[in-house]
Amino acid sequence: MANAQGEETAAYMRTYYLGHSTRERASVRGAGRQSKKCRKCGIVKSRNEFTVRKSGPRGGHLAAYCKECSVTVAKATYARNNSDLSFYRRVAWPSKLKRAYGITVEDYNRILAEQGGACALCRSTTPENGNRKYKRRVRSVFDVDHDHKTGKVRGLLCTRCNRLVGLANDDPNTARRLVEYFNIGG
């Protein structure tokens, strides 16, 4: 009798799951709505006026802001983050200068003015000077070159020159041999 009851339960479960697995329904709860109220402007708009999230835990859901408000918010965020008053330039960068090199922003600006607003080695006025890896990022500051043994700041360099000095391991003899090598044949 117990075995017959187990078979009956198994048959019921098969039909239950088969019946429910073929049912048509939206893949994400709330994804089937036809209109939504924008959280920014507060206007109820049709589904077509919202973007649909493509990934994450809310993938398939409509975005919180309508397309118009999303563009407005994105432009404001871009303007705020790309201004000279960005968080990095106001807080993080001055803190890094003080912690890593022992100089202030005023010291940095003074050194840059003494160098004529250019790299101490190649005299380029562009801080990145051919940095291919970070094409999208626009650097607006020169690298601080310092002696790794004493910690003393030597000057401000563009990215290429800073790498050159680093690859020479801060060794003056290697730099002299590099100059001699460049003079060979010409």
120-152 per-position pLDDT tens digit:
988 888 877 554 555 555 557 889 998 888 889
Banded model confidence at residue 29, pLDDT cuts 50, 70, 90: low
If asked whether residues 43 and 108 sit together in one domain, one would say: no
If asked whether residues 166 and 98 sit together in one domain, one would say: yes
pLDDT of residue 86: 65
If asked whether residues 96 and 178 sit together in one domain, one would say: yes
C-alpha triplet 87, 128, 173: angle, nearest 5°: 120
- Decide: pTM greater than 0.85: no
d(CA 155, CA 37): 56
Is 82 strand, coil or helix? coil
Domain span including residue 91: 87-183
56-97 pLDDT, tens digit each: 787 788 888 999 999 999 888 877 766 656 677 777 888 889
